[in-house]
């Protein structure tokens, strides 16, 4: 894959989405059937990496507002989060941005594009600082958990360990160090 052929742009209502297929049918369906509607309803913003030479969608991701909230049943994890925040700034909720969807076309799998996207998101949230945001969250599909762990995400709870998706988070202060 030649990264110079990739063009990143924000999805718009008139975007013609180029062919895309990843291993998760739900992620394929979101891109073609739901992404524009989510954008219109201000529920998520989707960004597309298009391979200009191959005329296909190489990857996409969507972002939306989120928060991490105190859960009395998860005191241990909450204490772990709070330890990194000065006493005067501790709250019952913290601002976050959620990765609603992140998918890479099968033709581009295993070439580091997903990790590049995560790094780009972390950079955008910490360097541009257009909005206060301490955490990056994701409801990771069980098949994607190793990917998110490799990219520094932690589990927020053990209560969802047997679920199809697990809530994971990344403290953006770690990216700034």
pLDDT in tens, 30-88: 999 999 999 999 999 999 999 999 999 999 999 999 999 887 778 888 888 888 888 88
CB 51 within 8 A of CB 5: yes
CATH number at residue 72: 3.40.630.30
HSE, side-chain direction, 13 A CA sphere, residue 12: 4
- Above 70 in pLDDT, residue 143? yes
> What would the pLDDT profile of 1-31 be if each residue is shown by its tens digit?
678 899 999 999 999 999 999 999 999 999 9
User: Which positions ≥6 away from 133 have C-beta within 8 Å?
Assistant: 95, 96, 97, 125, 172
Percent of the chain with pLDDT over 70: 99
Which H or E run includes 141?
A: strand 135-141
DSSP string, 33-91: IIHHHHHHTTS-EEEEEEETTTTEEEEEEEEEEEEEE--GGGHHHHHHHHTTS-GGG--
Q: How many CB atoms lie within 10 A of CB 32?
A: 12
CB 50 within 8 A of CB 6: yes
Instruction: Quote the pLDDT of residue 152.
Output: 97
Structural domain boundaries enclosing 129: 3-176
Considering its fold, how many domains does the chain have in total? 1
- Above 70 in pLDDT, residue 177? no
Percent of the chain with pLDDT over 90: 73
Q: What is the mean pLDDT of the chain?
A: 92
> What would the pLDDT profile of 84-110 be if each residue is shown by its tens digit?
888 888 888 899 999 999 999 999 998
- CA 177 to CA 155: how far, in whole Å? 21
């Amino acid at each position: 894959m030649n990264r110079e052929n990739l063009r990143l742009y924000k999805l718009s209502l008139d975007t013609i989405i180029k062919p895309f297929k990843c291993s998760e049918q739900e992620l394929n369906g979101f891109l073609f059937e739901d992404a524009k509607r989510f954008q219109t309803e201000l529920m998520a913003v989707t960004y597309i990496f298009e391979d200009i030479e191959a005329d296909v969608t190489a990857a996409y991701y969507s972002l939306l507002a989120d928060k991490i909230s105190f859960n009395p049943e998860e005191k241990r994890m909450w204490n772990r989060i709070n330890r990194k925040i000065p006493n005067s700034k501790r709250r019952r909720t913290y601002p976050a941005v959620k990765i609603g969807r992140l998918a890479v076309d099968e033709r581009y799998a295993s070439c580091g594009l997903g990790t590049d996207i995560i790094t780009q998101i972390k950079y955008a949230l910490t360097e541009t600082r257009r909005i206060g945001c301490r955490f990056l969250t994701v409801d990771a599909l069980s098949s994607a958990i190793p990917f998110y762990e490799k990219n520094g995400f932690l589990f927020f709870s053990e209560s969802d360990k047997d679920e199809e998706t697990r809530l994971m988070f990344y403290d953006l202060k770690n990216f700034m160090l």
